Chain A
Amino acid sequence: MLTLSEVTDISGEEGNLQVKVLQHPRFVDMDKCIACGTCAEKCPKKVEDQYNAGLMKRKAIYVPYSQTVPLKYAIDKDNCIYFQKGKCRACEKFCPAGAINFEDTEKELDLKVGSVIMAPGFTSFDPSSQDTYGYAALPNVVTSLEFERILSATGPFMGHLSRPSDKSEPKKIAWFQCVGSRDMNRCDNGYCSSVCCMYAVKQTLIAKEHSDVDLDCTVFFMDMRTHGKDFDRYYEHAQEEGIRFIRSRVHSAEPVPGTDDVLVTYVDERGHQEREIFHMVVLSTGLEIDEHVVALSQRLGIELDPYHFVQSDTFHPVATSVSGIYACGAFTGPKDIPQSVMEASAAACAATQPLAVSRNTQTKTVEIPAEKDVTREPPKIGVFVCNCGINIGGVIRVPEVAEFAGTLPHVVYVEENLFTCSQDTQDKMTAVIQEQGLNRVVVAACTPRTHEELFQETLINAGLNKYLFEMANIRNHDSWVHANDPDAATQKAKDLVRMAVAKAGLLSPLHQTDLPVHQSALVVGAGVAGMTAALSLAQQGYPVHLVEKSGTFGGNALQLHRAYQGEDVSAYVKKLTDEVSAHDRITVYPESTIQGVDGFIGNFTTEIQTPDTTETIAHGVAILATGAREYKPDEYLYGSHKAVLTHSEMDRLFMNDDPRLKAAQNVVFIQCVGSRDETHPYCSKVCCTHSVESALELKRRNPDINVYVLYRDMRTYGKREDLYREARKAGILFVRYALQEKPKISDSGDQVRVVFRDPILDRELAVEADFLCLATAIVSYHDQTLAQFFKVPMDADGWFLEAHQKLRPVDFANDGVFLCGMNHYPKPLDESIAQAQAAASRALTVLAMDTINVGGVVCHIDPDLCAGCLACMNVCPYGAISEDKEKNVAEVNEALCKGCGACAATCPCEAAILMGFNNQEIYAQIKGALAA
């Protein structure tokens, strides 16, 4: 990891690139710094803190935030008194570790790599120039990022909702949407930033939660773009919670004389001017690419679009114009976290594909010392008590706790550390374990969730089994929550240490076994997503079985005319299909279905029913790419009048160059047919862009045609906004309708008569339409059988449910199974392709392993004690327990068991034992607690 560094140049060919990196001096020795914070405490220079969006001060020597990785201080040279004025050096004087190095210099590094991924992110639009919103002049007009910090517990007001001017609690807040987005007048950002509607809704609800009063929240918006998974439900929920949504682009925000309040002037939908006073205003600022990133891209020859995002095409969403350089995240276009994470994985797959032959050639393997057998030794426990800087030591009297630990049975060594987790302490700890012959280790510090693995590694390095370790959480469970009562907190720390020591004395080593990984994949579904995933894995060197229920490959893409940037879809699908069919590592199974799945990550066996026979295949991972389908409505005369079509049917007319298109005089599109209603309470995401695209295509074919788009919110997010602007320029009419007042359709010979209300004119209009195109929803196939085979969940709308909506968007909770494409949620081609490459990338992390570790903290069922009641089998959330019918007992599959302990808690015979948390150990811990 090279921090404080920037790439200055890249040369060479994909596979062999030379990269020049300039590393700026940190002036702090990373090996010596223990991040105690003394330097920052003593540093006399206060600087605006960028992490807190300038709402707070930090020192000239600093860590950006307390969880920073690496947790090492750095001197900000531009603000350091010594560097600016020649004297001070307070940090050097007080640093207990001697880590300050004022002589540190800039370094130039020449590195050789096969490919580069650019993930430089975005900067939040600076609204200072937009004086009508008063950001520069009014203290209580803040940006959305500033408001995030205001809401945060680690922010300037410690999570108390306060406004900057007088720290009072605002009772009335307004959000202005599209600041620095969808705006070609006050800035040149014609695109939609995609994320601001959703984060504004989130901020209103979180602000309400933080507020002691009934907070009045108002959002001023143009179109509410909550097009992501479950986003519309959240928007509905916000409306139910009383958040006001006003459709208007605000005219101005001005001071209210004599107060710190803000006067907001806006024009409502009927054209009336309104004025309202708010205590605070949040500007929902858009996403921009930093000028340094633009400069670097230009130097490297990466083609950017007019808004400075990477010029990418629909079929290669993470490629750049320079071979060997890939891009992901906000750099390729404004997007939210899940989409960024998907693209990140996609870029990882694309960037390593040409390097597949060199896999594992430059990775380093860690030498592990032989494990010492301690089973015959009496317990010799070492206790390490951590101050965590001042996090623990500022409340709890750590020396007293350490002294107490020394009096406990089997404890032979006690040490107090400032930061037990720092690298130098880990090295010392390894030495101490060996010198003192310790065979159990207790660390009284923070939480095992974040630090257990680190300490376990130290045990391994010292030749101990990693399970001979126990943590007492005297920070999160103690010093943080009892900060006001140091005496009680110190007593509680002693209790927690006593409990941990009591358990540690009984710990026995646990072992993991290696199971071989079957290095091949199963992909279900041969639409664009499935074929992309299959081809990616095959090109990375792994055999793939591709199963498709129909006789043709290509899925929904076969029905599409053009992608949103104008690319020819059928030509691409044909090329992809040919490549997949010709690849010698891909076995295709057309007209085939899955009949059964058995096994677990690395070791699945699946039964495939082909037209002729049943085949059983073994595979290590599975990717579900089963798609979704276009909804066929039963309203608006669909199916009974030939002028009424869906999008795929209209695309068919385009592809066939149907003469009726040229003859048509009036065409009407109706949006949200079957979407955002009671039956499908979600946005289908693709239909707004599709309608705009088709409307433009009609205009291109016949410039005199009249096109009307009846919509609820136009959701042409991201760069798609350009199409919407182009369409309005081309004279296409966009008229909003409400769900309560849908357009009315009647038969009118060869045409249909469409009657709708124009909200601006406030009157009814009628059009005799030659074609009525219904932008119908995308709906799930609701394939429960497949979901059960792979033990994966589905949400209420029938979309497969990923392991984590933000951070694991293509993984399932069931390890080794991944998802991509429209079975996850409706999405356009570029996003399906990115998700497919992402699923392949995640699958590669499994396939690249020769073996997987199973065992450790898992359950074991003692067959001698088991009564065969199978209560455990019913509570196991992972399907890890099965019945041995011969012996009439339950047994655990260690590869599926996650060690949750539900079975151990349920078993009436105490036959189910959770290793590392067995009854004796837990009882000893409870006794330890009661001994106080």
Chain B
Amino acid sequence: MNHTQQSEPIQGAVMVIGGGIAGIQSALDMANSGFYVYMVEKSPGIGGVMAQLDKTFPTNDCSM
């Protein structure tokens, strides 16, 4: 890879489409490793299906 030959610099920002548990985890990891993250979510709030679950195996933690 020789980035210096590129006319435009490589972006330091990324985008995640979907704010469920997978999207949230991706976004956090990338933000914590030095990238600016745009998260795009179609509904008014993030959380996805996991937020609808009552309890999860094996800890019986509430999904919130």
Check A1–B23 contact: CB distance below 8 A.
Answer: no
- Separation in Å of the A520 CB from the closest CB of chain B? 15
Residues of B near A807 (CB, < 8 A) are 21
Given contacts A348-B33, A363-B36, A206 and B54 within 8 Å (CB-CB): yes
Check B45–A120 contact: CB distance below 8 A.
Answer: no
Which residue of A is nearest B8, CB measured? A16
Binary contact readout A585-617 vs B (1 if CB under 8 angstroms, 0 otherwise): 000000000000000000000000000000000
Of the candidates B3, B42, B62, the one whose C-beta lies within 8 Å of that of A4 is B42
List 9 tightest A-B contacts by C-beta distance, closest first: A329-B22, A68-B45, A344-B25, A114-B11, A358-B12, A119-B23, A362-B12, A361-B12, A348-B29
Given contacts A113-B13, A341-B22, A362 and B35 within 8 Å (CB-CB): yes
Binary contact readout A202-218 vs B (1 if CB under 8 angstroms, 0 otherwise): 10001000000000000
Is A662 located at the chain interface by the 8 A CB criterion? no
Which residue of B is nearest A4, CB measured? B44
B12-42 contacts to A, CB under 8 A, are 12-27, 29-36, 38-42
Given contacts A1-B46, A16-B8, A116 and B59 within 8 Å (CB-CB): no
In the assembled complex, the Cα of A121 lies from the Cα of B18 at a distance in Å of 7
Check B44–A26 contact: CB distance below 8 A.
Answer: yes
Binary contact readout A18-42 vs B (1 if CB under 8 angstroms, 0 otherwise): 0101000010000000000000000
In the assembled complex, the Cα of A340 lies from the Cα of B21 at a distance in Å of 8
**Chain A residues touching B, range:** 35 or more
* Residue of A2, A72, A344, A805 ringed by the most chain B CB atoms within 10 A: A344
Residues of B near A349 (CB, < 8 A) are 29
Check A16–B11 contact: CB distance below 8 A.
Answer: yes
Residues of B near A206 (CB, < 8 A) are 54-55, 60
Report how many residues on chain B are interfacial, defined by Cβ distance under 8 Å.
57
Residues of B near A360 (CB, < 8 A) are 12, 34
Check A65–B47 contact: CB distance below 8 A.
Answer: yes
Residues of A near B38 (CB, < 8 A) are 2, 19, 21, 111, 113
Check B25–A848 contact: CB distance below 8 A.
Answer: no
Residues of B near A345 (CB, < 8 A) are 25-26, 29
Check A19–B15 contact: CB distance below 8 A.
Answer: yes
- Separation in Å of the B40 CB from the closest CB of chain A? 5
Given contacts A119-B20, A206-B55, A69 and B15 within 8 Å (CB-CB): no
Check A806–B59 contact: CB distance below 8 A.
Answer: yes
- Separation in Å of the B46 CB from the closest CB of chain A? 5
Is A351 located at the chain interface by the 8 A CB criterion? yes
- Stretch touching chain B among A148-156, A411-419, A523-531, A859-867: A148-156
- Separation in Å of the A562 CB from the closest CB of chain B? 28
A137-193 contacts to B, CB under 8 A, are 145, 148-149, 151-153, 155
Residues of B near A15 (CB, < 8 A) are 3, 6, 8, 10-11
Residues of B near A16 (CB, < 8 A) are 6, 8, 10-11
Please list 21 pairs of residues, one from A and one from B, whose beta carbons are closer than 8 Å in the complex, sorted by A's number: A1-B39, A1-B46, A3-B44, A21-B40, A51-B51, A64-B43, A64-B45, A111-B13, A117-B17, A119-B18, A148-B54, A149-B52, A345-B29, A348-B27, A352-B30, A359-B33, A361-B9, A361-B12, A807-B21, A845-B29, A845-B33
